[in-house]
Structure 1
Amino acid sequence: MDLNLRDIRAFVTVAHAGNFTRAAARLHLSQPALTVQIRRLEETVGARLFDRNSRSVALTQTGRELLPILTRSLNDMEQALRDARALGDGSSGTVRLACLPTFAASALPELIQAFRARVPQARFQVRDVVASAVNALVRNEEVDIGLTGGHSVDATLDILQTGEDRLVIVCPKTHPLARKRTVTVDDFASMPLVLTAPGTSVRAVVDAALSNSRCTPDIACEPMYMMTAVAMVRGGLGISVLPESAREVHAERGLVTRPIDDPAFVRPIALVKKRGRTLPRVTEDFVNTVDLGGQSPD
């Protein structure tokens, strides 16, 4: 017979109360029910734990030796139950998230701050990576949710939300394009371009849009990260096409952005999870605070 949490709690309560009647009242039990629990624990242990008389009970030597051991066990088990309930009701837990760097550096900090104001015990593990890596991390269950970009989403993933990220031209304030309110593909297709590297979701959108316009771009540099692309534009190596939401774009006082008059220059974004997997409650609650501005596919 295994040790029972209720029986251990009954033993510890009787030991501290020194009386079955008081202990039964504290546990909201009848005295016969409490007696059954103590007898069951004694049978499990194989020794008498209390010496009883009509007025009081006293711990036996075995009971005195077991009291600190079972008290620690009771505290540990009750803490484990509290932790399990907190994970179950979403008041505790870890949100494991992979996301595009633009999202990590723009909306994510405010979302985490607002969520932790409501759920102080929530923890976050954030991986800011390119879209293909986001999908892989979710697929391999290294994270539970991912904010990814691009037109194709892995068939093993469920889409929780969708949205879009409009792309813009980034150029120095002294550049001829800075004088325009909007630009067309013809305005910049022949200019040196600083484009994020192949394999990034932004590059996939730009390549598709330029291909549709039958333009052959003059690619000057292909950095992996937007911060590097912005630095190269600042250094005069060319202009770039980046998401309007990217904070790196707006942090440079010497640079400006101009909208592109072409609906093809839009990056789809999606919040995803692995198909067939149940999200932890805390992660599910966090997902409900995210608004990508698109439609939920549910």
Structure 2
Amino acid sequence: MDLNLRDIRALVAVAEAGSFTRAAERLHLSQPALTVQIRRLEEAVGARLFDRNSRNVALTATGRELLPLLRKSLHDMETVLRDARALGEGESGIVRVACLPTFAASVLPELIIDMKREVPRVVFQIRDVVASTVNALVRNEEVDIGLTGGEVLDPMLEVLRTGVDRLVAVCPQAHPLARKRRIGLNDLAQAPLVLTAPGTSVRAVVDAALSESREPLDIACEPTYMMTAVAMVRAGLGVTILPETAREVRAEAGLVVKRIDHPAFVRSIAIVKKRGRTLPAITEKFVKLMRRGW
């Protein structure tokens, strides 16, 4: 017969109270029910644990040796139950999220702070990667949720929330585009461009938008990271096109951010999870927080 939590708790209560009556009151049990629990525990151990008479109850030598071990087991099991309940209720746990670097460097820190106010015991594991890698990490269950860019076509992914991120042009203050009131498609097509590398969600939007122009494109360089693109623009290599929410677009005082007067320069963004998978309660809470702060 296996030991169970209630029987161990009964033994500890009787040992501390020195009385079945007082222990039963403490445990909100009838005395016969408590007696059954102690007898069941003695059968599981294979030894008498209490000496009883009409006046008092005392631990046997075996009972005295077992008491500290059972107290520790009781404490450990109660701790496991508390931790399990906290996980189930979303009061602790790990949020594993993959997200676009744009999001990781802009909105995410504030969302984490808000989440920690609600759930101080939350821990975050962040993977800031390009959209294709976000999708792969979610699909392979290396993370639980992802914030990705572009249209989500993967049938293994379920979209929890969608939105859009407008793209803007970034150029030096001395650049001719900095003096224009409006920047159109042809303005960009005629300028040397610093574009993020192929395979990024921003580049996919830019390529689709610029494909409408008949002008041959002058692509000066194709960095992977937005901060590198900004540095290239600062050096005078060309104009870059980045999400308006990216902190990188305002990282340099000598650069100008210009809205693009064309509807195609908008990137779709989405919160995704693997289809058919139940999110941990703590992650569900974070998704709700992301929706509120979208």
CA distance in 2, matches of 1:20, 1:215: 92
Corresponding residue of 1:15: 15
Corresponding residue of 2:80: 80
Q: Which amino acid aligns with 1:15?
A: A
Deviations 1:126-178 (A, max 9, x none): 10000000000000000000000012432100000000000000001111111
Aligned length, in residue pairs = 294
- Please say if residues 163 and 293 of structure 1, whose CA atoms lie closer than 8 Å, have aligned partners that are also in contact: no
Q: Which amino acid aligns with 1:11?
A: L
**SS of equivalent residue, structure 2 residue 58:** strand
Structure 1 stretch 103-112 or stretch 21-30: which is displaced more? 21-30
Runs of at least 5 residues in structure 1 that lack an aligned partner in the other structure: none
CA distance in 2, matches of 1:201, 1:86: 37
Please show how residues 230-269 of structure 1 align to structure 2 within 5 Å. Answer: 230-269=230-269
- Please say if residues 189 and 213 of structure 2, whose CA atoms lie closer than 8 Å, have aligned partners that are also in contact: no
Does the C-alpha gap of structure 1 residues 293 and 76 become closer, same or farther in structure 2, counting only changes over 3 Å? closer
Please show how residues 91-130 of structure 1 align to structure 2 within 5 Å. Answer: 91-130=91-130
CA distance in 2, matches of 1:110, 1:77: 36
Q: Which amino acid aligns with 2:291?
A: D
Please show how residues 142-161 of structure 1 align to structure 2 within 5 Å. Answer: 142-161=142-161
TM-score (norm 2): 0.98
Corresponding residue of 1:221: 221
Please show how residues 27-38 of structure 1 align to structure 2 within 5 Å. Answer: 27-38=27-38
- Please say if residues 162 and 292 of structure 1, whose CA atoms lie closer than 8 Å, have aligned partners that are also in contact: no
TM-score (norm 1): 0.96
Deviation of 1:188 after TM superposition, in Å, equals 2.0
Deviation of 1:245 after TM superposition, in Å, equals 0.4
Does the C-alpha gap of structure 1 residues 30 and 50 become closer, same or farther in structure 2, counting only changes over 3 Å? same
**SS of equivalent residue, structure 1 residue 290:** helix
Corresponding residue of 1:45: 45
**SS of equivalent residue, structure 1 residue 288:** helix
**SS of equivalent residue, structure 2 residue 26:** helix
CA distance in 2, matches of 1:109, 1:220: 33
Corresponding residue of 1:66: 66
- Please say if residues 111 and 293 of structure 2, whose CA atoms lie closer than 8 Å, have aligned partners that are also in contact: no
Corresponding residue of 1:55: 55
CA distance in 2, matches of 1:292, 1:238: 37
**SS of equivalent residue, structure 1 residue 252:** coil
Q: Which amino acid aligns with 2:186?
A: D
Deviation of 1:179 after TM superposition, in Å, equals 1.1
Deviations 1:189-208 (A, max 9, x none): 12111000000000000011
Corresponding residue of 1:207: 207
- Please say if residues 149 and 269 of structure 2, whose CA atoms lie closer than 8 Å, have aligned partners that are also in contact: yes
- Please say if residues 5 and 77 of structure 1, whose CA atoms lie closer than 8 Å, have aligned partners that are also in contact: yes
Does residue 164 (structure 1) correspond to residue 177 (structure 2)? The answer is no
Does the C-alpha gap of structure 1 residues 163 and 70 become closer, same or farther in structure 2, counting only changes over 3 Å? same
CA distance in 2, matches of 1:129, 1:214: 32
Superposition CA RMSD, Å: 1.2
Corresponding residue of 1:173: 173
Corresponding residue of 1:285: 285
**SS of equivalent residue, structure 1 residue 90:** coil
CA distance in 2, matches of 1:125, 1:17: 47
CA distance in 2, matches of 1:16, 1:41: 17
